[in-house]
Amino acid sequence: MTELEKIIGYKFNNSELLKTALTHSSYANEHSDYFHCNERLEFLGDSVLGFITAEYIYREFSHLPEGELTKKRAYAVCETTLAEFANEISLGTFLLLGNGEKHTGGDKRPSILSDAFEALIAAIYLDGGIENAKKFVLSFVSNAVKEKPQFKDYKTTLQEVIQQNPEEQLSYIVTDESGPDHDKCFTVEVHLNSNCIGKGKGRSKKQAEQNAAKEALELMGL
């Protein structure tokens, strides 16, 4: 872990936070008496990342309308981009994975890498505050947001369609989760108010949400 601290340029006061950020649920399940997985940190890190990224884009791209800002943020925080950030610091080599994940390439799986990257952001935030978290995040995001998005973000597109009617509300609901830790499959429904307008499956919740939004757009003829 000392090597990772050198790579990211941040030394933890509480090394347990870093250890937890690197611990996948598959490993924690095999060592439940000693380890906590990084899922709670990932939850927090997602919000910290979103806030830092949104603030940076808002300040740096004052000439862009809200829709373009949203696209830039979506690209910077999507699973594919976060996995690329994780690979830049060789994060996969430091992850604690269960035997199943270890033998099936979990250290290279985008969903695991992106979640661990978000968990690492949360760990830095809790250990050193928002300024240290911002320094870490912007060392990646500042370059990423300058690029033109090269992927189809169905969630953002669907949101742009729906927000034309402010009273309408979108929500994503996980309806099923199956398979072993190293081969999960999530099923997600996207709801418009209380009505399901699309379903999707994926190896991560984010992927399943994108697929649900894609189906919703297709059903709308878009």
Q: Indicate which residues carry an active-site annotation.
A: 46, 118
Chain centroid to Cα 34, Å, comes to 26
Place of tokens 């379903």: 199
The contacts of residue 22 (CB under 8 Å, 6+ apart) are 1, 4, 38, 94, 95, 96, 116, 119, 120
Contact 119, 41 (CB under 8 A): yes
Q: What is the DSSP string of 161-176?
A: HHTTSTT--EEEEEEE
Is 38 buried (19+), middle (13-18) or exposed (0-12) by CB count in 10 A? buried
